[in-house]
Amino acid sequence: MCLKHAGFNGTKEDTVLIPIPTSTRERQRKRFPVVCYYLSEWLGITDGFKAIWIAEDREQMKGRGKGKDTLGNLQFTRRYIKGRHVLLLDDVFTTGESFRQLQRKMKQLGALSVIGVFLGKTV
């Protein structure tokens, strides 16, 4: 509910919701398309589920990815990112490494701003 009242950098028309990818295509397909569709509709922003896709499955690195490149198996669709304000969505915030790497990549691809939305945090 707090997202509905959150201030957006810019306008809703230039904001996109992109899920932080899981380690495998199958997990990604099961976890995020419906959530992204409905959350984007509800917020009135672009559904960016197809902005990042997994070219090759990799080992899950939750909590073990510090300093490792977690983007090597990913492909990006720039039209969802360039000139947009990006909301990166993930289920759990562990170390923040995936978010930081994706935040840098989004800015390299032309994002105006990048913020993270996480449903939970590990302790």
pLDDT, tens digit (0-9, with 9 covering 90-100), for 5-43: 565 666 788 999 999 888 888 988 888 899 999 999 999
Report the candidate in 97, 89, 99 with the shortest Cα–Cα distance to residue 119.
Answer: 89
Report the candidate in 18, 31, 17, 24 with the shortest Cα–Cα distance to residue 73.
Answer: 24
Contact in structure between 85 and 8 (CB atoms under 8 Å): yes
**Alpha carbons 54 and 110: distance in angstroms, whole number:** 20
**Alpha carbons 7 and 2: distance in angstroms, whole number:** 10
Fold of the domain spanning 11-121: Rossmann fold (3.40.50)
Q: How confident is the model at residue 111 (pLDDT cuts 50, 70, 90)?
A: very high
Instruction: Kindly report the three-state secondary structure assignment for every residue of 6-62.
Output: CCCCCCHHHEEEEECCCCCHHHHHHHCHHHHHHHHHHHCCEECHHHEEECCCCCCCC
pLDDT of res. 66: 56
Rounded mean pLDDT of 102-117?
94
pLDDT of res. 98: 84
Domain ranges of the chain: 11-121
The verdict on pTM exceeding 0.75 is yes
Rounded mean pLDDT of 65-89?
84
Rounded mean pLDDT of 69-93?
87
pLDDT digits (tens, 9 = 90+) for 49-66: 999 988 888 776 555 555
